[in-house]
Amino acid sequence: MPITIRKIAKDLNLAVSTVSKALSDSYEISDETKRMVLKYAQEHQYVPSAYAGSLKNRRSKNIAVVVPEVADTFFSNAINGIDSVAQEEGYHVLVYLTHESAAREYEILHELKSGRVDGVLISVSAGVDSNSRAHSELADNVPFVFFDRVCKDVAAAKVVTDDFESSYRATLHLLDKGCKSPLYIDAGPLSITEERRQGFLKALTLRGISSQEERTLICAQDESQNIVSIRRRLVGKHKPDGVIASVEKLAMHVYEICNEEKIRIPEDVKVIAFSNLRIAGLLAPPLSCVYQPSFEMGQRAAKLLFDALAKKTNIVREHIVLPSRFEQRESSK
């Protein structure tokens, strides 16, 4: 006979709601009470009802989140957003890392076909086809949501941000601050960075800035190669007076190189990054950022997935666009 929350409450002389909150680690409950409840629950091998439930309805009670990496703030925030919804639903989140390798992503999708999880949330690796058959097949078989980086031509729910518009606006900001020779550092080939590149180019066209092709630097190689390419551009003959970094990591390379080469930000080069770095304001100088609504994107994607799991609705045609937010700081002054 498994022990219940009710029994724990009775034995410890606590309210049922107190025990329940203690087990879900609520801030309303003191540490001392939590420790007491946890210890008792552990000693009596209490099985949380989320798990008990999964035995009953034969679901795995797991969802998979497939992402390129966790070292980027966007992904760690988005995972927290997903997890906040999954917790409410009594689900576990399993994070699978592709390390930006399309081959690994296909391997992982193959494994997920076996039904190990009840649903899949995915942000695809660079190099995955926009009409990938593997993604399409999986989306046909389990509840499936793309977030942020998507396969454009695969019919599945998508939660994205306004990459084109936010890049367009950030570029206009750079030009308004007097930049004549801006550079876009691209982390492609990716749906998001392509949109951002198009937004950048549109702003240049609007302001009549030419030689557009030379104004994009593609950094899709390994890290040390990227650093070499960026350095070459920042110290070279046609050096830019403004930079838009399409992802956080590339912005950090720009800062490191400027630091080493004594290139002054914003005097010599203004910098804007697509980044969710919470401490961007603590950098020297504080970094102007296009903040994606990372946590919310994770939440919305997870909510769609659970709607599909509850068979509330067919989500395949859902295409949610959440706006990014630009925050100007010292680096683009």
Query: Is residue 41 part of the contact set for its own copies (CB under 8 A)?
Result: yes
Pick the closer one to its own copies by CB: 116 or 312.
116
- Cα gap 139→117, rounded to integer Å: 13
Q: Rounded to whole angstroms, what are the CA distances from 112 to 68, 108, 139, 153, 239?
A: 16, 6, 11, 21, 47
Nearer residue to its own copies within complex by CB, 221 or 313: 221
Contacts of 16-25 spanning 24+ positions with Cβ under 8 A:
23/48
Strands 62-67, 119-122: pairing kind: parallel
Stretch that binds its own copies, among 161-169, 204-212, 231-239, 280-288 (CB under 8 A): 280-288
Q: How far is the CB of 113 from its own copies (least distance, A)?
A: 10
Q: Provide the 3-class DSSP secondary structure of residue 208.
A: coil
Cβ 42 to its own copies, closest distance in Å? 6
Q: Is 150 helix (H, G, I), strand (E, B) or coil?
A: coil
Least separation in angstroms between residue 206's CB and its own copies is 32
For residue 31, how far is the Cα from the chain centroid?
Answer: 32
Is residue 39 a contact residue for its own copies (CB under 8 A)?
yes
In whole angstroms, what is the distance from residue 310 CA to residue 306 CA? 6
Kindly state whether residue 279 participates in binding its own copies, applying the rule CB under 8 A: yes
Residue 202 binding its own copies, by CB under 8 A: no
Instruction: Check residue 228 for interaction with its own copies (CB under 8 A).
Output: no
Angle between helices 133-141 and 102-112 (to 10 degrees): 20
Q: Which of 80, 81, 87 is nearest to 61 (CA)?
A: 87
- Residue 271 tokens read as 């910098």
Q: Of 137-196, which residues contact its own copies (CB under 8 A)? A: none
Query: With CB under 8 A, what is the number of residues at the site for its own copies?
Result: 65
**Residues 265 and 285: beta-carbon distance below 8 Å:** yes
- Of 132, 161, 191, 331, the one binding its own copies by CB under 8 A: 132
User: Are 74 and 273 in contact, with CB atoms under 8 Å apart?
Assistant: no
Residue 133 found at the interface with its own copies (CB under 8 A): yes
Residue 277, both tokens: 């770095």
Cα 73 from Cα 247, distance rounded (Å): 10
Stretch that binds its own copies, among 125-133, 208-216, 230-238, 312-320 (CB under 8 A): 125-133
In 3-state terms, what secondary structure has residue 32?
helix
Residue whose CB is less far from its own copies, 30 or 212: 30
Which one, 128 or 315, has the nearer CB to its own copies?
128
The binding track of 42-81 with respect to its own copies, each residue x by CB under 8 A or -, is: xx---xx-xx-----------------xxx-x-xxx-xx-
Selected binder of its own copies within 211, 213, 282, 311 (CB under 8 A): 282
Q: Which two tokens stand for residue 327?
A: 């925050």
Residues of this chain that bind its own copies (CB under 8 A): 22-25, 27, 31, 34-35, 38-39, 41-43, 47-48, 50-51, 69-71, 73, 75-77, 79-80, 83, 87, 92-97, 99, 101-104, 106-108, 110-111, 116, 127, 129, 132-134, 220-222, 252, 255-256, 259, 278-279, 281-286
